Amino acid sequence: MNEKKNLLLHICCAPDASVPVPELLAEGWNVIGFFYGSNIHPLDEYQKRLEALKILIQNTKIECEILNYSPEEWLKEVRELENEPEGGRRCEKCFALQLKAGACVAKKLGFENFCTTLTISPHKNVNLINALGTEISKSNGLIWENRIWRKNNGFLRSVRASKEMGLYRQNYCGCCFSIRN
């Protein structure tokens, strides 16, 4: 890449960003992170993930926009989807909420390109995530970077990279409903 292009990277959690951030920087992007966080429950879990994010930011030397923590707002948005299984309609809504919030930040910063770390997870529907990202980017005048980070052992590499950085790795997706799984 001759001229550095700006890219807003939606970071679902620090361990999941431990591969995408260095790879995007190595490709020559000017990366700014974006952390939504209001889907995470309870507060002390949110704080642990925020601390991990700060370590990632320090290690990779990127800037990151962090939304105010508003779990009540997130809960309002997923009302009546509480009993959905993980991977169902509640997760689709949750991805869309996070990506829409990220698209607003990208526009505010005057960035053109937008991507997410969500596709590193072996448990998530990467086609759905990239379809949502494409649609949300299009409606906000942005260009979606269609990546599947879990390719080429991406998840395993992220486990190693986050261990090296000493990042806290959670054992559930994030919301109060995912704890029961």
Query: Which one of residues 62, 101, 161, 175 is an interface residue with ligand SF4 (CB under 6 A)?
Result: 175
Hey, is 158 helix, strand or coil?
helix
Using the minimum distance from each CB to ligand SF4, give the nearer residue, 29 or 177.
Answer: 177
Determine contact, residues 170/37, Cβ cutoff 8 Å. Answer: no
CA distance 161 to 169: 11
* 3-class SS string, 79-134: CCCCCCCCCCHHHHHHHHHHHHHHHHHHHHHCCCEEEECHHHCCCCCHHHHHHHHH
Which residues inside 18-57 make contact with ligand SF4, applying CB under 6 A?
A: 39
Hey, is 143 helix, strand or coil?
strand
Task: Verify binding: residue 173, ligand SF4, rule CB under 6 A.
Answer: yes
Interaction mask 66-105, ligand SF4, x per CB under 6 A: --------------------x---xx--x-----------
Task: Verify binding: residue 177, ligand SF4, rule CB under 6 A.
Answer: yes
* Distance of closest approach, residue 12 Cβ to ligand SF4, in angstroms: 8
Task: Tell me the number of residues near ligand SF4 by CB under 6 A.
Answer: 10
Interface with ligand SF4 (CB under 6 A): 39, 86, 90-91, 94, 173-175, 177-178
